[in-house]
Amino acid sequence: MTALPELLACPTCLSTLRSTADGVRCVRGHEFPIIDGYIDFLAGERPQDADWAQVGLTADSHADEAAGLVHRVENYVVPYIRQSFGSTEGITLLDDGAGYGHAVPLLREHGIDAYGIDPGSRRDKWAEHGLSDRLFSGSGRSLPFADESFDVVFSSGVLEHVGEHLPEGQRGGPCAEYIREVIRVMKPDGRGLIAHPNVMSQDIPDSRVGFVVPADRFMSRVPPRGRPLG
Ligand SMILES: C[S@@+](CC[C@H](N)C(=O)[O-])C[C@H]1O[C@@H](n2cnc3c(N)ncnc32)[C@H](O)[C@@H]1O
Ligand SMILES: [Zn+2]
């Protein structure tokens, strides 16, 4: 890796990070290795969330997810950013739960200063992007970025997997941690674009629709920030 991106911060204590011979280290001594070319902010401890969402992954799921993500980015995310900010040029964006990582190079083609993070094993495919200073292993529940780093935090098909391994009534805590972190790393006038299955989705089993209710309840407790979605 070349120079460390300035917006990176220790996910444990939020202090400054420096490169070491085989990873990065914060000024308070928390160390994170580079594994297969990418910084691993989980330091080997994968939260169950990640692997729960990997069940049944195949070569087809790689192609299907890539196609779906490209569609969402081109038809919703990029037009939304243009409409909200007047331009895409230089807009800082985090893809929070980046999966196979396809959104990051695509968004960059639109002039967006995009980064991605994911705790799961879809990272095994990141080598095809070669973006070791843009994609990071880590959890949305403790992001390795400084406060107010991003104009946009984008999350696509992730929230329904956060805390998914926990029994129904216990998912709210991990989801609230994830949302709190979205808000922390967003600039004061930033936008959070969070897409997940909801009552308007097609082909969603009832159990997923049920999950939307507690998510809505905790989101209503999050203080409003920035402009309302237009
Ligand atoms: C269905 S995939 C969606 C991937 C991608 N966003 C897309 O739209 O194709 C769900 C992703 O959420 C990730 N995930 C699970 N728990 C997470 C967490 N706590 N923080 C960030 N990502 C998480 C999984 O590792 C997985 O890559
Ligand atoms: Zn630290």
CATH number at residue 134: 3.40.50.150
Q: Looking at ligand 1, which atom is closest to the CA of residue 102?
A: 9
pLDDT at 66: 86
The answer to the question of residue 134 being in a domain is yes
Residue with the bigger pLDDT between 210 and 39: it is: 39
The pTM score is 0.87
> 46 pLDDT band (50/70/90 cuts)?
low
Ligand 1 close to Cβ of residue 77 (< 6 A): no
Query: Closest ligand 1 atom, CA of 121?
Result: 25
Residue 15 lies in a domain: no
Q: How far is the CA of 123 from the centre of ligand 1 (A)?
A: 11
Looking at residue 63, what is its pLDDT? 81
226 lines ligand 1 (CB under 6 A): no
In short, whether 97's Cβ falls inside 6 Å of ligand 1 is yes
Name the band, by pLDDT with cuts 50, 70 and 90, for residue 206. Answer: very low
The closest ligand to the CA of 142 turns out to be: 1
Return the ligand 1 atom nearest residue 96 CA: 21
Residues 6+ apart with CB under 8 A from 145: 7, 8, 9, 94, 115, 185
Q: Does any domain span residue 76?
A: yes
Determine, yes or no, domain membership for 79. Answer: yes
Counting the structural domains of the chain, the total is 1
Q: Is 53 in the pocket of ligand 1 (CB under 6 A)?
A: yes
Does the C-beta of 197 come closer than 6 Å to ligand 1?
no
Q: What is the mean pLDDT of the chain?
A: 83
Ligand nearest to the CA of 8: 2
Atom of ligand 1 nearest to the CA of 119: 25
Residue 138 lies in a domain: yes
Q: Yes or no: say if 150 and 140 are a contact pair by the CB < 8 Å rule.
A: no
**pLDDT interval class at 163 (50, 70, 90):** confident
34 C-alpha to center of ligand 2: Å? 16
- Looking at the domain assignment, is residue 62 inside a domain? yes
Residue 152 counted as domain residue: yes
Q: Is 110 in the pocket of ligand 1 (CB under 6 A)?
A: no
Any domain includes 32: no
Cβ neighbours around 21 below 10 Å, total: 6
